[in-house]
Structures are given as C-alpha cells and as structure tokens.
Amino acid sequence: MTLSSVIHAERRAALTGSAMALLGEARHYGVSVVVRCGHPRLSGKLPPEATETRFLPRLGESRRAVVIAVDSLARGWSVEWDEEYTEYRITPPRRTVTADVEPYVVDTPANRRPASWGDTEGKPVPGGSVCQCCRGTLWWREMMRPQGWRCRTCHPPTGAVPVTEQDTREGADGAPARIAS
C-alpha cells in the first residue's frame, strides 16, 4: 500500500471511522498498532478477551483504514473532541509556510503594491512591482473596461471575461505576458 497517494478525504474518513475505534480497542487491550511494510502489526500479545470480541478479524477487515489512520497520526494529524459542537475535530498537521520569493525580484518597499488597486486608465504595472501580500509578480486586468490591476495569486481571474496579464519580474519585457479568457 502506497501511503503517499492517500488524499485528505481518506485520512479524515479513517480518523473518524471504525479504524479509530479499533485503535482505541487495541489500546484497551494493552497493545498498539504499528505499520510495517504497509500492513498493521500489533506491538504485543492480545489478552483472551480480544478473541471473544473478534478483534483480529475486524482489524483485518479494516486493514486499509487502520493503516491510513496510524500513518495520519504519525504524520501529525490530530483528533480532538469539540465540546461546543459535540463532535470530533480532525486537524491536519501544521506546516511552516515559507515564502518562495524568486531571487531576482527586488523586494523593496518602493516596489510593493497592494494585491489589487483601482486603475481605470489602464496604465501598465511598473516594472519590478511585487504584491505586498504574496510577493507575486504576475498581474492581470480585464481587457475591456478594466477595473484595475490584481495579483494573479491573491485574486485569480474567474474566467468569465478575457483578461490581459503582465509579468513584472526583472528581465521581463514589460509587455502583456499573455491573453487568457
């Protein structure tokens, strides 16, 4: 089983379904479930009462979900009880977000622009401009009756009207990059 191809929805389903109940039951029996070579394995010996409750056959029937649940917990997913909504809250692991600023963009305060601004005259975006929110350098506006420039990352076009885009990276020719519809 390849765990790298498991999507968030599968992880959420495994963490809220019978797999989590089986992991809790294993803890009750004094063992833990570990994943080795894509298969669930028990860390110790089960007591006789586990045979009576058919724990091992149920674990085998839910093998995929159990493996996904164990892997998700190991990757930092968490399951928390929300008293206010009286339900479990599944939270994915927190990631450190790093800004991927291209090294040839001169990020000075003079070059920073808001993510969108009104410009009914349709003046081009000054070369070297970067979005002050995401540091993006690709801007767009409507081709007909332009409302102003917008950062393509922060405010992507909807596709309802044709737009023109301009790349303001240093070394870009300053002409509209492409016309999209």
Note the pLDDT tens digit of each residue in 107-120.
Answer: 555 556 666 666 66
Structure tokens at 172: 């870009």
DSSP notation for 13-80: HHHHSHHHHHHHHHHHTT--EEEETTEEEESSPPPHHHHHTTHHHHHHHTHHHHHHHHHHHHTT-EEE
Provide the 8-state DSSP code for 5: G
Note the pLDDT tens digit of each residue in 34-58.
Answer: 888 878 899 999 999 999 999 999 9
| Core vs surface per residue 144-177: b (16+ CB within 10 A) or e | eebeebbbbeeeebeeeeebbbbbbbeeeeeebb
pLDDT at 177: 44
Q: What is the pLDDT along the chain (181 residues), one digit of tens a residue?
A: 677 778 888 888 888 888 988 999 999 999 999 888 878 899 999 999 999 999 999 999 999 999 999 988 888 888 887 788 787 788 888 765 555 545 444 555 555 666 666 666 666 677 777 887 777 888 888 888 888 888 888 888 888 889 888 888 766 554 544 444 4
The number of residues in the chain equals 181
Which residue's entry shows tokens 């975006």? 125
- Domain ranges, ordered by start, for the chain: 3-91, 109-180
